[in-house]
Structure 1
Amino acid sequence: MVTQDQDNLEEEVGEMKKSLVDLHMKVNFIVEKQGEQGVVDPPTIPPFKSSRALLPDLIHIGKRCDLCNWKKWVVACGEVHEVDPTTHVHGAYLCKGNFSVVLIKIKASHAEL
C-alpha cells in the first residue's frame, strides 16, 4: 500500500514538473511576442530553475501551520501558499527555505511574526 501511494505521488510530482515547465515556456513566449509588438515592456521574470530543486518543498503547499512569536507562542494559524524561492513577495524574493503563508486565524492580533 505504501509503495503504491509513493508511486502515485511520484507520478503526480512528475506531472506537476511537466506542467511547471510548460507554463514557464508559455509565459516566456507571451513575453517575447509582447516585446516584439511593442505593446508593453516585457516584465522581468527570474530565470527558470529546475522544479527538481523545489520538489522537497512542494509537498508543503496547502498544509496547515502554526505561526509563533519569538517566545514560541502560537499567535496565528495559516496555510502554506507558495514555496518557490524566485517568487516576489512584498517587493522581495521569497528566497530558499522560506514559504509564503496565508493567514487563516489570528490568535494574537498585536503579535509580530
Structure 2
Amino acid sequence: METPPANSTLDIYRTDGSKPNIDSAKATYQNLLGGNFISKDTGTDVPVVKKKISIFAKKVWDKADDIAIKPEISFQLKNKQTGEAIGEAKVIQTQAGQSEATVQ
C-alpha cells in the first residue's frame, strides 16, 4: 500500500486488547496482536483493498544499557479472520551497544 486509506489512522493494539497508554509503566514485553485502519470520522474499520503493504517495525529498548543481551523480536502478519500467517516472519536483532533496531 503506497498511502493509507483517506481520512484514517492506524490503530494498534496488544494481546490483551488494551491500547498502550503513553504515561503508563511499560510491561516487560508486549506482543503486538494486530492493527487496522480506523476512520477518523466514524471510528469504524476501513478495509484495505490492496494486497501489497509495506510495514516498518521498530523496537526501542527502555534503559538499553541495563540489558546486555537483547532478545530477538519477530513480527509476522496474520489474516484476522482465519489466523493464517501471511508472508514470512521478520526478525529484529538489536546489536550490542544500540537501543533500537528497525525491520521492513
TM superposition score normalised by structure 2: 0.24
TM-score (norm 1): 0.23
Structure showing the higher helix proportion among its residues: 1
Comparing both structures, which one devotes a greater share of its residues to strand?
A: 2
Q: Larger Cα Rg: Structure 1 or Structure 2?
A: 1
Name the structure, 1 or 2, with higher relative contact order (CA <8 Å, separation 6+): 2
